[in-house]
Amino acid sequence: MEKITLSMILLISILTSCNSVDNSINVTVDDNLDLDLVKVEYGFYSGNEESDKKLVDNGLDKTIFENGNPKSFNTICGENDFLVTYADKYYVKVRHFIPNDFDDGIPDGHKYNFEIIDNQNTPLLKLEIEGTDGEIITKEFAEIKNAANNKQGR
Protein backbone atom coordinates (compact mmCIF):
# COMPACT_ATOMS: atom_id res chain seq x y z
CA MET A 1 0.00 0.00 0.00
CA GLU A 2 2.85 2.38 0.82
CA LYS A 3 4.42 1.81 -2.63
CA ILE A 4 1.14 2.62 -4.34
CA THR A 5 0.68 5.81 -2.31
CA LEU A 6 4.26 6.91 -3.02
CA SER A 7 3.81 6.13 -6.73
CA MET A 8 0.56 8.12 -6.85
CA ILE A 9 2.18 11.12 -5.14
CA LEU A 10 5.07 11.01 -7.61
CA LEU A 11 2.71 10.73 -10.60
CA ILE A 12 0.53 13.62 -9.41
CA SER A 13 3.63 15.75 -8.79
CA ILE A 14 4.87 15.15 -12.33
CA LEU A 15 1.50 15.89 -13.91
CA THR A 16 0.87 19.05 -11.94
CA SER A 17 4.42 20.27 -12.56
CA CYS A 18 3.60 20.68 -16.24
CA ASN A 19 0.99 23.39 -15.82
CA SER A 20 1.74 26.69 -17.43
CA VAL A 21 1.25 30.40 -17.25
CA ASP A 22 -0.89 32.25 -19.77
CA ASN A 23 0.46 32.92 -23.23
CA SER A 24 -0.49 35.62 -25.68
CA ILE A 25 -1.37 35.36 -29.34
CA ASN A 26 -1.10 37.92 -32.10
CA VAL A 27 -2.34 37.22 -35.62
CA THR A 28 -1.67 39.39 -38.66
CA VAL A 29 -2.36 38.91 -42.35
CA ASP A 30 -1.17 40.58 -45.55
CA ASP A 31 -3.29 43.52 -46.75
CA ASN A 32 -5.12 41.46 -49.38
CA LEU A 33 -6.10 38.71 -46.88
CA ASP A 34 -8.95 38.85 -44.36
CA LEU A 35 -8.12 38.48 -40.65
CA ASP A 36 -11.69 37.37 -39.91
CA LEU A 37 -11.12 34.25 -42.04
CA VAL A 38 -8.29 33.01 -39.78
CA LYS A 39 -8.90 30.41 -37.09
CA VAL A 40 -6.20 29.10 -34.74
CA GLU A 41 -6.78 26.02 -32.60
CA TYR A 42 -4.51 24.63 -29.90
CA GLY A 43 -4.05 21.09 -28.56
CA PHE A 44 -2.23 17.88 -29.43
CA TYR A 45 -2.44 15.84 -32.62
CA SER A 46 -0.57 12.58 -33.11
CA GLY A 47 1.72 12.35 -36.10
CA ASN A 48 0.83 8.65 -36.34
CA GLU A 49 -2.40 9.20 -38.26
CA GLU A 50 -2.52 7.99 -41.87
CA SER A 51 -3.58 11.40 -43.15
CA ASP A 52 -4.62 14.87 -42.04
CA LYS A 53 -8.33 14.21 -42.70
CA LYS A 54 -9.17 13.59 -39.04
CA LEU A 55 -7.21 16.70 -38.05
CA VAL A 56 -9.10 19.05 -40.36
CA ASP A 57 -12.46 17.37 -39.69
CA ASN A 58 -12.21 17.41 -35.88
CA GLY A 59 -9.74 20.23 -35.21
CA LEU A 60 -7.88 20.53 -31.92
CA ASP A 61 -9.03 20.95 -28.31
CA LYS A 62 -9.33 24.71 -27.96
CA THR A 63 -9.97 27.60 -30.33
CA ILE A 64 -7.59 30.40 -29.36
CA PHE A 65 -8.24 32.82 -32.24
CA GLU A 66 -11.41 33.26 -34.30
CA ASN A 67 -13.23 36.16 -35.98
CA GLY A 68 -10.30 38.44 -35.15
CA ASN A 69 -10.52 37.70 -31.41
CA PRO A 70 -7.63 36.15 -29.43
CA LYS A 71 -8.21 34.04 -26.31
CA SER A 72 -5.80 33.20 -23.52
CA PHE A 73 -4.40 29.68 -23.34
CA ASN A 74 -1.83 27.67 -21.43
CA THR A 75 0.87 25.52 -22.92
CA ILE A 76 2.36 22.41 -21.35
CA CYS A 77 5.77 20.79 -21.20
CA GLY A 78 6.16 18.71 -24.34
CA GLU A 79 4.24 18.91 -27.59
CA ASN A 80 1.98 21.90 -28.23
CA ASP A 81 0.22 21.79 -31.59
CA PHE A 82 -1.49 24.60 -33.45
CA LEU A 83 -3.90 24.18 -36.36
CA VAL A 84 -4.30 27.32 -38.44
CA THR A 85 -7.02 27.48 -41.08
CA TYR A 86 -7.73 30.22 -43.56
CA ALA A 87 -11.10 30.74 -45.28
CA ASP A 88 -12.07 27.11 -44.63
CA LYS A 89 -9.89 26.34 -47.65
CA TYR A 90 -6.32 26.10 -46.32
CA TYR A 91 -4.72 24.59 -43.24
CA VAL A 92 -1.34 24.20 -41.61
CA LYS A 93 -0.30 22.41 -38.42
CA VAL A 94 2.76 23.47 -36.45
CA ARG A 95 4.27 22.12 -33.25
CA HIS A 96 6.05 24.01 -30.50
CA PHE A 97 8.00 21.66 -28.24
CA ILE A 98 8.65 22.94 -24.73
CA PRO A 99 11.21 20.92 -22.76
CA ASN A 100 10.72 20.31 -19.05
CA ASP A 101 13.46 22.09 -17.11
CA PHE A 102 12.88 19.80 -14.09
CA ASP A 103 13.42 22.80 -11.82
CA ASP A 104 9.83 23.85 -11.30
CA GLY A 105 8.41 22.11 -14.39
CA ILE A 106 6.21 25.05 -15.32
CA PRO A 107 7.00 26.48 -18.75
CA ASP A 108 7.37 30.22 -19.01
CA GLY A 109 4.75 32.14 -20.94
CA HIS A 110 5.30 32.75 -24.62
CA LYS A 111 4.07 35.26 -27.15
CA TYR A 112 2.87 33.58 -30.35
CA ASN A 113 2.98 35.84 -33.41
CA PHE A 114 1.17 34.22 -36.34
CA GLU A 115 1.69 36.02 -39.65
CA ILE A 116 -0.14 34.80 -42.74
CA ILE A 117 1.55 35.88 -45.93
CA ASP A 118 0.00 35.89 -49.41
CA ASN A 119 2.43 33.63 -51.25
CA GLN A 120 0.86 33.96 -54.75
CA ASN A 121 -0.94 30.59 -54.99
CA THR A 122 -0.93 29.33 -51.40
CA PRO A 123 -0.71 31.22 -48.10
CA LEU A 124 2.44 30.92 -46.02
CA LEU A 125 2.56 30.89 -42.22
CA LYS A 126 5.38 32.55 -40.36
CA LEU A 127 5.12 31.83 -36.64
CA GLU A 128 7.50 33.72 -34.40
CA ILE A 129 7.43 32.45 -30.82
CA GLU A 130 8.93 34.82 -28.26
CA GLY A 131 10.03 33.47 -24.89
CA THR A 132 12.42 31.08 -23.21
CA ASP A 133 11.73 28.32 -25.74
CA GLY A 134 11.16 30.66 -28.67
CA GLU A 135 11.69 29.83 -32.30
CA ILE A 136 10.60 30.84 -35.78
CA ILE A 137 8.61 28.40 -37.90
CA THR A 138 7.76 29.01 -41.56
CA LYS A 139 5.42 26.59 -43.27
CA GLU A 140 3.23 26.59 -46.37
CA PHE A 141 -0.51 25.97 -46.02
CA ALA A 142 -2.10 22.95 -47.69
CA GLU A 143 -5.58 22.77 -49.17
CA ILE A 144 -8.22 21.25 -46.90
CA LYS A 145 -9.74 19.37 -49.85
CA ASN A 146 -6.46 17.39 -50.11
CA ALA A 147 -6.21 16.50 -46.38
CA ALA A 148 -7.08 12.82 -46.99
CA ASN A 149 -3.96 12.60 -49.19
CA ASN A 150 -1.69 14.66 -46.93
CA LYS A 151 0.24 13.74 -43.82
CA GLN A 152 1.51 16.66 -41.74
CA GLY A 153 0.47 19.00 -44.56
CA ARG A 154 2.47 17.20 -47.27
Q: Is the pLDDT of residue 12 over 60?
A: no
Q: What residue ranges in 30-148 does DSSP mark as E strands?
A: 38-43, 62-66, 69-70, 73-74, 78-86, 90-98, 111-117, 124-130, 135-140, 142-143
Cα separation, 91 vs 52, in Å, equals 10
The predicted pLDDT at position 44 comes to 92
Strand order in the sheet with 69-70: 69-70, 62-66, 38-43, 78-86, 90-98, 142-143
Q: Is the pLDDT of residue 140 over 70?
A: yes
Cα separation, 90 vs 87, in Å, equals 7
**Per-residue model confidence as pLDDT tens digits over 14-43:** 444 455 568 999 999 999 999 999 999 999
User: What is the phi-psi region of residue 102: left when phi exceeds 0, alpha when psi lies from -120 to 50, beta otherwise?
Assistant: left
Cite the DSSP H helix spans in the chain.
2-16, 53-58
Backbone angles phi, psi at 68, to 5 degrees: 80, 5
Find out whether 50 and 92 touch, Cβ atoms under 8 Å: no
Range from 10-14, 28-32, 57-61, 66-70 carrying the lowest mean pLDDT: 10-14
Q: Give residue 91's Cα distance to chain centre.
A: 12
**Per-residue model confidence as pLDDT tens digits over 71-121:** 999 998 889 999 999 999 999 999 999 988 666 667 888 999 999 999 888
